[in-house]
Amino acid sequence: MPRMIFMNDSLVPEHEAKVSVFDHGLLYGDGVFEGLRSYAGTVFRLDEHLDRLYASARAICLEIPLSKDVVARAVVDTLAANHLADGYVRLVVTRGAGGLGLDPNKTSNPQVIVIADTISLYPREYYDRGLRIVTAATQRTHSAALSPRIKSLNYLNNIMAKLEGLQAGCVEALMLNHKGEVAECTGDNIFVVRAGKLLTPPPDAGILEGITRNAVLELADQAGIACREATLVRHDLYTADECFLTGTAAEVISVVEIDGRRIGAGVPGPVTKQLTEAFHSLVKR
């Protein structure tokens, strides 16, 4: 049975899901997207993801041709059409087809695409043992050039940093901002634990405010774990008791080594384990 893709107003088989070669999403990365997870048939924080999608679109003057309610139904229907109770959804909106030039006013017919599949970002052993990561030389795009709050189709900045991590034998890499402060990893937000307190970079460090990041902050608060946003540098990571990453695809995963420095005891720590269990309980409600 072919995979079903939502395109604009209907579900179509994968081989019929096509966009123009003149679409500015393809030509220039001109568009926005969201990645969502479904657990036991319920999309995790769907409204928050849609709010961020529409905010990203407004920020780049892209008018999404469908209402939030229609897109929400498309997400649910696409999962159902592919018989996925536990799945990953990629929701994409492109600028639409135009000429061979940057002018977005010469485009038309923005494309709304919903893809549903399964995902396993990291092998199970990494969740049990923790990740090794390195700091990439590629900096996070300056927030004055492009707001990190816009989840755009142009991910080349992250991809270049990801390549550095892979070339170093790591599946993830840390990205710093233009001031040398810790921002985030190529696809995940980052947290550290120091003396039982949870710290994570603030939005002005050049991060995307992750949906999972915010959920973990809420869970920490509910568990009585002191948590706050704070400017961090690599020294803060190297000397932390624990470190972990959060993301829609990654969920919560421990980091046990950064740039060859062992973090804490070199194994997933107690606070990380506590928040991982709390997150699993949250999404399985």
What is the C-alpha separation between 31 and 36, in angstroms, rounded? 17
Catalytic residue check, 18: no
CA dihedral 144, 145, 148, 151 (to 10 degrees): 150
Cβ atoms of 78 and 125 within 8 Å: the answer is: no
Q: Which amino acid is at 136?
A: A
Exposure on the CB side of residue 109, measured as CA atoms within 13 A: 10
Question: Crossing angle of helices 68-81/46-59, nearest 10°?
Answer: 130
52-67 burial code (b ≥16 CB/10 A, e <16): bbbebbeeeebebeee
Contacts of 102 (CB under 8 A, 6+ apart): 28
Identity (one letter) of the amino acid at 150?
I
Distance of CA 282 to the CA centre of its chain: 18
Largest CA-CA distance found in the chain, in angstroms, rounded: 57
Which residues are CB-neighbours of 130 under 8 A, at least 6 positions away?
A: 253, 254, 255, 256, 257, 266, 267, 268
Catalytic residue among 68, 151, 179, 284: 151
Catalytic residues: 151
